[in-house]
Structure 1
Amino acid sequence: MTAITPDTLLAELHKAADAVSALAAKLTEADVPAESALPGWTRGHVLAHITGISNAMARQLEYAARGETVELYDGGYEGRTKAIDMSAGHALEQHRADLDSALQRALRAFDSLDAVDTDAVDTDAGETDAGEAAAGAAGWSAPISYRGGVVLDGGFALWRELVIHASDLNTGRGPETWSRQFCEHLFTFLAARVPEDQKLVLQPLGLPRVTIGTGGRSTVVNGMVTDIAAWLAGREPSLGSLRASAAADGVDLPELLPWPSGVPAK
């Protein structure tokens, strides 16, 4: 897989934030209460969530710069959900203002980071080892409360949130627009969704295969890299290319475990 360095991640965060802002700029007032690609959520819910996670991750970095940690959301998962529900019905102008402010706050926080301690970063895996990073405790390696990790983990999390939820806005920018680099990052991160007794052999068309999971039941999943990533992320594959097989026979795609949440439920 292609290595993702902090500099690369920072550039991807800016690109993802620009894409979200561009999509929000094209919405009309009537689009806000319309259905998103997420069951039970309007586009207003998605906009409110992107605003909330951007502010939450910015706060993680602001506290980390002072050598402190703070929970991702006030009130945990319940507080997150309440804030989204309260903001979902805002007028479009308010959504845009809140979103732009939150994205700018988050990007400022990431742009201000010190040079990373490269010995504490596993760029192939896309996540960092919190124990090693805590020894340096500066810049990208500073501890945060999100997943008991470090700032770099927060950067990857915000990248996932911005790219995936841009597609969830249901404006025509689906998973088929996700980059190979982003999809390969999801393969690693979402390996946590593979049940303990299973192993998935991911075979993106024209690309090297990737194995995730360590169980004894092996399933091969073939398809476009974006379709495989979308399925792993719980989204509808947009190109219809997925095929699963076991022992050379066609089978249904296996059931996956829930998305690995970074917000403990209360």
Structure 2
Amino acid sequence: MSNTNSLTEHDHPSVLLPLLYESAGHLLSSAGALTGEQLRAASLLPGWTRAHVLVHLARGADSRVRLLTAARGGADLPQYPDESTREEEIRQGALRDADALRMDLETSLSGLLQAIGSHPDEAWDVPVRWLGGGRRPVRGVLWSLLRELEVHHVDLAASYTPADWPAAFTDRELRATVARLREDPAMPPVRISADGGTSDLSTSDRPGPLVRGAAAAILAWLTGRSDGAALTVDPPGALLPRVPAWRR
């Protein structure tokens, strides 16, 4: 997933770390309330149980620690060796019992948050090797982690919904998602009007239907976490366009 091109005051660890700690705390609370049987049940992600989601988040945290380590020491440590290794780690990790899954997630998130908090200010712009081979500044660890925590918390299907997303996350992530979709040839033109605060957005310079609703409901639809039933479309009777799949 793409990252912004500069470390702004809104991206600084002193601003994002409190959000990250809060988001991680909520996720760990939800995970801790799930029984072993519930962890084996389906998540909102096709083909994945809740256990798969938790392992994905744990391994994603570890991968970001590698990126921060690379940025501090100059080592060429990729986020993951390759996609197949990432998928196999998730598959194997999801087979463990509930206590092991929860401890793994808590340990990995704690380690990453500590690494973020101790990362030198001057090293946030160091380019590192993200999954897929692209080199981008390590500052992308910050917002990408918040995105992963918030969106995949919803994927647990454990009472946390898009309506629970923090407003600071929803507003910025809606803008970023629309900007990404503008570059996706599979995304049809759509105009977006979110209730309160967010300026009108569009996925294309071409005309398209106007979709209205709460910012969180629109973001949930654009990221495949909702069928958009809570949204309205203008002209009346028009159907919501099909949205390209959100990469997990």
Please classify the TM superposition score into its range, dividing by the shorter chain length.
0.7 to 0.9
Matched, 1:56 2:56: no
Matches within 5 A, 1:169-248: 169-191=156-178, 192-194=180-182, 195-196=184-185, 198-236=188-226, 240-245=229-234, 248=235
Say whether the 8 Å CA contact 1:37–1:169 is kept in structure 2.
Answer: yes
Kindly provide the CA deviation profile for residues 2-32 of structure 1, in whole angstroms up to 9, marking residues without a partner as x. x723122122111111111111111112111
Name the counterpart of 2:128: 144
Amino acid at match of 2:196: G
Amino acid at match of 1:12: L
Whole-Å separation in 1 of the counterparts to 2:202 and 2:83: 28
Between stretches 181-190 and 96-105, larger displacement belongs to: 181-190
Unaligned runs of 5+ in 1: 116-137, 262-266
Matched, 1:14 2:21: yes
Amino acid at match of 1:221: V
Unaligned runs of 5+ in 2: 1-8
Name the counterpart of 2:41: 34
Matched, 1:81 2:87: yes
Aligned-CA RMSD value: 2.2
Amino acid at match of 1:47: L
Task: Give 3-state SS (helix, strand or coil) of 1:144's partner.
Answer: strand
Amino acid at match of 1:183: T
- How far has the Cα of 1:237 moved from its partner? 5.8
Say whether the 8 Å CA contact 2:56–2:90 is kept in structure 1.
Answer: yes
TM-score, reference length from structure 1 = 0.80
Kindly provide the CA deviation profile for residues 148-200 of structure 1, in whole angstroms up to 9, marking residues without a partner as x. 22122121111111111111111101111012221122223222234447443
The alpha-carbon distance between structure 1 residues 224 and 237, as it changes in their structure 2 partners (threshold 3 A), is: farther
Between stretches 185-194 and 78-87, larger displacement belongs to: 185-194
The alpha-carbon distance between structure 1 residues 161 and 236, as it changes in their structure 2 partners (threshold 3 A), is: same
Say whether the 8 Å CA contact 2:11–2:143 is kept in structure 1.
Answer: no
Whole-Å separation in 2 of the counterparts to 1:234 and 1:167: 11
TM-score, reference length from structure 2 = 0.86
Say whether the 8 Å CA contact 2:174–2:215 is kept in structure 1.
Answer: no
Whole-Å separation in 2 of the counterparts to 1:257 and 1:52: 25
Say whether the 8 Å CA contact 1:16–1:162 is kept in structure 2.
Answer: yes
Amino acid at match of 1:72: Q
Kindly provide the CA deviation profile for residues 24-51 of structure 1, in whole angstroms up to 9, marking residues without a partner as x. 1111121111111212111111111111
- How far has the Cα of 1:259 moved from its partner? 2.8
Q: How many residues align?
A: 234
Amino acid at match of 2:244: L
Task: Give 3-state SS (helix, strand or coil) of 2:192's partner.
Answer: strand
Whole-Å separation in 1 of the counterparts to 2:247 and 2:177: 8
Kindly provide the CA deviation profile for residues 205-249 of structure 1, in whole angstroms up to 9, marking residues without a partner as x. 2334331333313231101111001111111268x421222xx44
**Percent identity (aligned):** 26
Amino acid at match of 2:68: L
- How far has the Cα of 1:102 moved from its partner? 0.5
Amino acid at match of 1:86: Q
